Structure 1
Amino acid sequence: MAEDYMAPFGDPDAGIAAALQRRGFRVYVLPCTRTDWFKVGRALFTRAYWSSSCTTNPGYSWYLERVKELVDRARLETGSEQVDLVGHSAGGWLARAFLGQAEYKDEPLDASADTLGSADAEPHPAVRALVTLGTPHTPPPADKVRDMTGGALTWVNATWPGAFFAGQGVQYVSVAGRAVRGNQEADRKTLSGYACGSYQQVCGEGHETVGDAVVPLRSALLDGADPVVLNGVFHSMSRVRTFNEPADVPWYGSEQVLDAWLHRLVE
Structure 2
Amino acid sequence: MTSQITPVPDLAESKALTIDWRSLGKVVAPPEAPPVVILPGFGNDTGDYECPFGDKDAAIATALRNRGWRVFVVPLERRDWLNVGRSVLSRDYWTSNCTCDPGYRWYLNRVRSTVDMARCECLCDQVDLIGHSAGGWLGRAFTGDPLGFDSPPATPDVPHQGVRTLVTLGTPQRPPPAELGRDMTGGALRWVDVQWPGAHFASAGLRYVCVAGRSVTADRNAPRRTLARYAHSSYSQVCGDGHAEEGDCVVPLSSAHLPGAKNVVLEGVYHSTSRVGTYGQPAERPWYGSDTVVDAWAQFLV
Q: TM-score range, shorter-chain basis?
A: over 0.9
In structure 1, give the amino acid aligned to 2:208.
Y
* Correspondences of 1:211-226 after superposition (within 5 Å): 211-226=247-262
Q: What CA distance in whole angstroms lies between the structure 2 residues aligned with 1:235 and 1:98? A: 22
Of 196, 216, 219, 1:183 maps to: 219
Of the two structures, which has the highest relative contact order with CA contacts closer than 8 Å and spacing of 6 or more? 2
- In the TM superposition, residue 49 of structure 1 has moved relative to its aligned partner by 1.1
**Is 2:144 the counterpart of 1:100?**
yes
Q: 1:43 aligns with which of 84, 87, 94?
A: 87
Residues 72-106 of structure 1: CA deviation (Å, up to 9, x unaligned): 00011001000000000000000000000111111
Q: Which moved more, 1:184-193 or 1:58-67?
A: 184-193
Letter in 2 for 1:131: V
The alpha carbon displacement at 1:176 in A equals 0.2
User: 1:139 maps to which residue?
Assistant: 175
Distance change in 2, residues 1:6/1:232 (3 Å): same
Contact 2:157 2:204 in 1 (8 A): no
> What's the secondary structure of 1:19's corresponding residue?
helix
Is it true that 1:250 corresponds to 2:274 in the alignment? no
Cross-structure match for 1:56: 100
* Aligned partner of residue 255 in structure 1, secondary structure: coil
In 2, the alpha carbon distance for the partners of 1:223 and 1:205 equals 21
The corresponding residue for 1:21 is 65
Residue 91 (str. 1) matches residue 135 (str. 2): yes
RMSD: 1.2
Off by >3 Å, runs of 4+ in structure 1:
none
Partner of 1:74 in structure 2?
118
1:8 is aligned, of 30, 52, 60, to 52
- Asked if 2 retains the 8 angstrom alpha-carbon contact of 1:9 and 1:245, the reply is yes
Distance 1:93 1:47 in 2: 23
Q: How far apart, CA to CA, are the structure 1 residues paired with 2:78 and 2:156? A: 30
Shift of 1:120: 3.2
> What residue in structure 1 maps to residue 189 of structure 2?
153
SS for the counterpart of 2:294 is: helix
Shift of 1:206: 1.0
| TM-score of the superposed pair, with normalisation by structure 1 | 0.94
TM normalised by structure 2 equals 0.83
| 1:263 matched to 2:299 | yes
Q: Which has the higher helix share?
A: 1
Amino acid at match of 2:118: A
